[in-house]
Amino acid sequence: MSNPSPDYQSPGPLSVGNIINAAARIYRDRFVVYYRLGLLAYCWLIVPIYGWAKFMAISGLLSRLAYGEVSGQPESVRDARRHINPRLWTFFGTAFLIGLIFLGWYISFLFIFGILVAIATQINSWFLWVFFGIFGILALMIFIVSLFWLNSRLYLADLAIAVENQSSSTKAINRSWQLTKQFIGRIILITFIAFLIAIPVSLVLQLIDSLIRLLLMAVFTPDSTIFGLIYLPLSLILSFSFSAFLVPFWSSN
C-alpha cells in the first residue's frame, strides 16, 4: 500500500458535517480494527509513564490510519506502526508540553480571579460588587472561549507527528499552530459536536455502572472488602470497554 504524504496538507475549506460523517464512516467500515486499537490504548493507561506514552502513540496511530483513508492512501496497521513506534516519546513530550500550556493558561486566569476576589472583599459598595460580579462573569466566559481557541490551535499536533516527519514536540506544536490558523471556528465546532456525540456513550456507561453497583449492594455491604474486589475490576473493565469506542472516533476527527 502507498504511504500517506510525508507532509500534511490542509484539505482546503472544511465542512463540519462532512468531517463528522467521514469520521463516523471510517470508524464504521473499520470498526473491529479501530475498536481493538482503542481498547489496547486504554489498557496501556494502567502502566505509568510508558503506558501513557503508548496510549498517546496509539491515538496517533489511529489518526494516521484515518488520514490515510481520507487522503485515499490507506495503510495497514503494521505499516503505520513503522512510522509511529519510533516517535513514541515525541507523542508523550508533545502531550506533556500541551498540558503545561493549558496549566499556564489556567493559572493566569486563576491569578486574575484571585485579584478580583481580593479587591471585592475590601469594598462595601453594592455598585462595585455588581460591577465586579459582571466583570467576573465576563472573565469566566472569556476563559472558556479562550480554552476552546487554544485547543483548536493545538488540535493537529499529534497528527503532525503521525503523518509528517516531525521528530520534535515543539515543531509539532508549531506546525499545528500554522495549520489551524484559518480553521479555528470550524475546529471548535467539530470538537463541540464530537463532544455531544460522546455524551450518550457516557450516559450508558454511567447507567450500567450504577446498575452493577446496585446489584452488588444487594448482596454485599458497600464498605466490605469483597464488594471492592468485585466492583472495582468490573467498573474498570466497563469503563475501558466503553471509552474504547470514543478514542478512535476522536482520533478520526
pLDDT in tens, 231-253: 888 888 888 888 887 776 676 66
pLDDT exceeds cutoff 60 at 3? no
CA 196, CA 138: separation in Å to the nearest integer?
Answer: 24
State the pLDDT at residue 55: 94
232, with CB counted inside 10 A (0-12, 13-18, 19+), is exposed
pLDDT band at 104 (very low <50, low <70, confident <90, very high): very high
- Single-letter residue type at 184: I
**In angstroms, rounded to a whole number, what is the distance separating the alpha carbons of residues 112 and 35?**
43
User: Could you give the 3-state DSSP secondary structure of residue 219?
Assistant: coil
pLDDT for the residue numbered 252: 64
The model carries a pTM of: 0.78
Report the C-alpha gap between 244 and 111 in whole angstroms.
Answer: 37
Confidence class of residue 139 from pLDDT cuts 50, 70 and 90? confident
Identify the band that residue 5 occupies on the pLDDT scale cut at 50, 70 and 90.
Answer: very low
Distance between CA atoms of 131 and 152, rounded to whole angstroms?
32
Q: Are 64 and 80 in contact (CB under 8 A)?
A: yes
Per-residue model confidence (pLDDT) at position 66: 86
Contact 98, 140 (CB under 8 A): no
What the block records as the C-alpha cell of 252 is: 478520526
- Top mean pLDDT of 25-29, 111-115, 186-190 is at 186-190
| 250 or 56, higher pLDDT | 56
Phi/psi zone of residue 7: left (φ > 0), alpha (ψ -120 to 50 degrees), beta?
beta
- pLDDT of residue 92 exceeding 90, the answer is yes
Using one digit for the tens of pLDDT, what is the confidence trace for 35-51? 899 899 989 999 999 99
Q: What is the pLDDT of residues 194-231, one digit of tens each?
A: 788 778 878 888 898 889 888 888 888 877 888 888 88
Residue 245's H or E segment, with its range, is helix 225-252
Mean pLDDT of 143-159: 90
Residue 36: CA count within 13 A, CB half-sphere: 5
* CA–CA gap between residue 190 and residue 15 (Å, rounded): 9
